[in-house]
Amino acid sequence: MNGRGVRLGLGLVAGALMLAALYMVFVYVPTEADQGIVQRIFYFHVPCAWVAFVSFALVAIAGIFYLWLGQQVWDDLGYAAAETGMVFCTLVLVTGSIWAKPIWGAWWTWDSRLTTTLILWLLYGGYLMLRAMAGDSEQGARFGAVVGIVAAIDVPIVIVSVRLWRTIHPAVLVTRQGGHGLEDPRMVATLLVALAAFTALFIWILCLRFVTLRMHTRLGALARSLALAEAAAQDS
Amino acid sequence: MDNLSYLFAAYAIIFAVIFGYVLFIWRRQVALEAELRAMEARMRALDEAAVATKAARFRAGS
């Protein structure tokens, strides 16, 4: 099975899981007693956060391998993961804000979970800006790797922020009392299917973006070879 | 804006952003594939010209 076939298969799996997740969110799962129908945002809000955290952890891992081995493939993987992570981190902030308005009465509050997530978004936004300004230079890739590694420190801070500081953000999955705060097993099942759907979606999108970056790298190498070949042809 | 509107807005934005990003990647891939094909064609043409030049010189020398 070639690369295209694998990517198509991943896309179909992600699509099927996403349809299953949508069915469970809008048909299967019961409505939460306190927050009502708007609580269903939770089932896609949390998986977006999961994908963002995994993406940024992958940026850090790829950065370490790039600094250690110096191979362009690791830089391409890190960049693909950073861009994907930024998309999903943006969705976390936007969906969280939409959910917050009817529940907390405000689009935003300087709560610890929200603030640390915003810091995470700004850090990786900075990574992408740095890479855009540096172009394809090796120095830009090295700086980017360092920024990606350092910025990943914020990921565990975001996760434990609801335990470390006073917060109004729900601590649903890791409560202070231990266990999760989902009252119905159908809610747990729906969340798990949504997490699986978003994980498959993340892998698919990451593959697609990684392939374009590898093509870009190959294009650069080919352009250099072509320039040398044309110069040699002119000399002869 | 009632709660159903907030729910709809959240899910609409999620799918719009994801579709938009996938479309961006797909268009980038199509453009890169076209550039790669053009560049590979130029490389082949240069290789063929170099081989033809060498053959002509060999014949002239012999």
Confidence (pTM) = 0.89
- Chain B residues in contact with A236 by the CB 8 A cut-off are 50, 53
Chain A residues whose CB is inside 8 A of the B48 CB are none
What parts of chain B have a pLDDT lower than 50? Answer: none
Could A226 and B43 be called an inter-chain contact, meaning their C-beta atoms sit closer than 8 Å? Answer: yes
pLDDT digits (tens, 9 = 90+) for A135-157: 888 899 999 999 999 999 999 99
| Residue A180 in contact with partner chain B when CB distance is under 8 A | no
Do the beta carbons of residue A73 and residue A218 sit within 8 Å?
no
The predicted structure's pLDDT at residue A234: 80
Tens-place pLDDT, residues A6-29? 999 999 999 999 999 999 999 999
| pLDDT over 50 at A175, yes or no | no
Averaged pLDDT, A53-63:
97
Predicted local confidence at residue A35, as pLDDT: 87
Residue A181: pLDDT over 50? yes
Cβ–Cβ contact A213 with B under 8 A: no
User: What are the tens digits of pLDDT across the range A122-135?
Assistant: 999 999 999 999 88
What is d(CA A50, CA A92) in angstroms, rounded to the nearest whole number?
A: 9
pLDDT at A179: 54
What is the pLDDT, as a whole number, of residue B1?
A: 65
Structure confidence at residue B3 (pLDDT): 86
Please name the residues between 189 and 208 in chain A that touch chain B, using a CB distance below 8 Å: 201, 205, 208
* Across A196-215, average pLDDT: 96
- DSSP string over chain B: --HHHHHHHHHHHHHHHHHHHHHHHHHHHHHHHHHHHHHHHHHHHHHHHHHHHHHHHHHHH-
pLDDT score for A168: 73
Closest alpha carbon within chain B to A223:
B39
Class of domain A13-230: mainly alpha
Residues of A in contact with B3 (CB under 8 A): 36-38, 102
More confident residue, A192 or A160: A192
pLDDT of residue A195: 97
The mean of the pLDDT values for chain A is 91
